[in-house]
Every structure is written in structure tokens, then in C-alpha cells.
């Protein structure tokens, strides 16, 4: 992820409907590296993210003690491709189904440290990006062929996002003690 503002990260999370651990970490890094108070736009973006997490408009992808970087790579690819398809057609796709299909056909890339994760990301981009795109494409094709495959399936319970809500709330309290939530009349 290139250097971004909190505002851009929140825009991306709102567009995708997901806040990934990488996005969450970047927000934390921006706040930690701020040499002075953040601009009001950044506080407003954090406030908007908090609201979106509370309403479920944005779902937090859970943080783990270890991560499979392949999940991150596949989710990123799947979310982008699904967004394109949904924007240009009447099709509605399940990112989870598509990611799971592709992940079952790709090698895992586990890491327990940021350094290890960065190494795995670079490796995946250099050696596996084409294969990732191919498997996500295959998953989408299969999904579009049979979108109601076992409609009685019970989804694995979703993360409530409470942990991320607490973290964003803590960030807001720590970095914006004088910022008061204003009612949005949009």
C-alpha cells in the first residue's frame, strides 16, 4: 500500500465495504507518525470510519496472531474485480465465496511479523500475481454460472467489528481529544 491519507483509506474502505488489517495498520502509522495535530479532514475521516463500522457499512477483516498474506492478496483482487462487475451489471457477487474458491487453489503465504508479511507480499506480487488474478477470474466465472449453489448454506458467523471499533475509538480519543462528533445532516 503506497503512502495514503486517512481520508483516502476511509474512502477505499467505504467503497469496498471492508477495512483490512493493512488499512487499519496504515491508519495507525499515520497517526503515530504525525509530528503535530492531524488536519480536521483526517479527524472527520476517522469519525466517518467509526460510523461506518458501527452501522456495518464497513466490515473489519479480523486481525490474527499470524496472517496468510495470500488472503490479503486474493481479497484485494476479488474486491476490485467484484466492484467492477457490480458497477457494470446487475450481478451481485459474494466476495467471500469468490475468495475462498481462489484461496483453495493457491499456496498459503503465512507470516507472523510485518517484515515477514512484506517479504511475502513482494514475493506474491513478483511471482504469483498472474496466478492470483487467474484464480479469482475462475472463481468469478464459476460463481456467475451457479450463483445460488446450495442456497440453504449457513454462512460462517461474521466478525462483529467490535475490536476494530474499540481501536478506532481509541485512536480518535488519543489523537483527537478536542474533536467532537457533529451530527451529519447530509
* pLDDT(143) > 60: yes
What does the pLDDT look like over 6-57, one tens digit per residue? 999 999 999 999 998 888 888 888 888 877 788 889 889 999 999 999 998 9
Can you give the pLDDT at residue 182?
A: 46
Q: Where are the alpha helices (DSSP H) in the chain?
A: 6-16, 21-33, 40-55, 69-88, 95-103, 114-123, 129-145, 162-175
User: Could you state, in order of their start, the residue ranges of all structural domains in the chain?
Assistant: 6-62+159-175, 67-145
Q: What are phi and psi of 60, to 5 degrees?
A: -85, 125
Is residue 75 within 8 Å of 99, Cβ to Cβ?
yes
HSE, side-chain direction, 13 A CA sphere, residue 35: 0
What does the pLDDT look like over 62-115, one tens digit per residue? 766 788 899 989 999 999 999 888 888 887 888 889 999 999 999 999 998 889
Is residue 26 within 8 Å of 4, Cβ to Cβ?
yes
Can you give the pLDDT at residue 103?
A: 95
* pLDDT(153) > 60: no
Can you give the pLDDT at residue 62?
A: 74
Residue 108: which of 80, 140, 72 has the closest Cα?
72
Can you give the pLDDT at residue 173?
A: 64
Can you give the pLDDT at residue 34?
A: 77
Can you give the pLDDT at residue 165?
A: 66
- C-alpha 98/C-alpha 91 separation (Å) is 14
Q: Could you tell me which residues are beta bridge partners of residue 67?
A: 111
Can you give the pLDDT at residue 29?
A: 84
* pLDDT(2) > 60: no
* Reported pTM: 0.54
Can you give the pLDDT at residue 83?
A: 87
Amino acid at each position: 500500500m503506497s503512502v495514503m491519507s486517512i481520508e483516502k483509506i476511509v474512502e477505499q474502505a467505504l467503497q469496498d465495504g471492508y477495512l483490512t488489517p493493512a488499512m487499519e495498520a496504515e491508519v495507525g502509522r499515520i497517526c503515530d507518525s504525525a509530528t503535530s495535530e492531524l488536519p480536521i479532514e483526517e479527524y472527520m475521516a476517522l469519525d466517518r470510519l467509526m460510523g461506518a463500522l458501527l452501522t456495518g457499512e464497513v466490515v473489519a477483516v479480523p486481525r490474527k496472531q499470524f496472517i496468510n498474506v495470500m488472503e490479503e492478496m486474493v481479497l484485494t483482487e476479488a474486491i476490485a474485480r467484484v466492484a467492477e462487475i457490480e458497477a457494470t451489471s446487475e450481478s451481485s457477487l459474494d466476495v467471500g465465496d469468490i475468495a475462498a474458491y481462489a484461496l483453495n487453489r493457491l499456496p498459503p503465504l503465512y507470516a507472523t511479523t510485518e517484515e515477514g508479511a512484506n517479504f511475502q507480499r513482494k514475493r506474491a506480487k513478483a511471482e504469483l500475481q498472474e496466478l492470483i488474478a487467474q484464480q479469482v477470474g475462475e472463481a468469478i466465472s464459476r460463481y456467475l454460472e451457479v450463483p445460488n449453489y446450495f442456497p440453504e448454506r449457513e454462512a460462517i458467523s461474521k466478525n462483529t467489528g467490535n475490536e476494530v471499533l474499540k481501536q478506532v475509538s481509541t485512536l480518535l480519543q488519543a489523537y483527537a481529544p478536542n474533536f467532537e462528533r457533529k451530527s451529519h445532516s447530509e
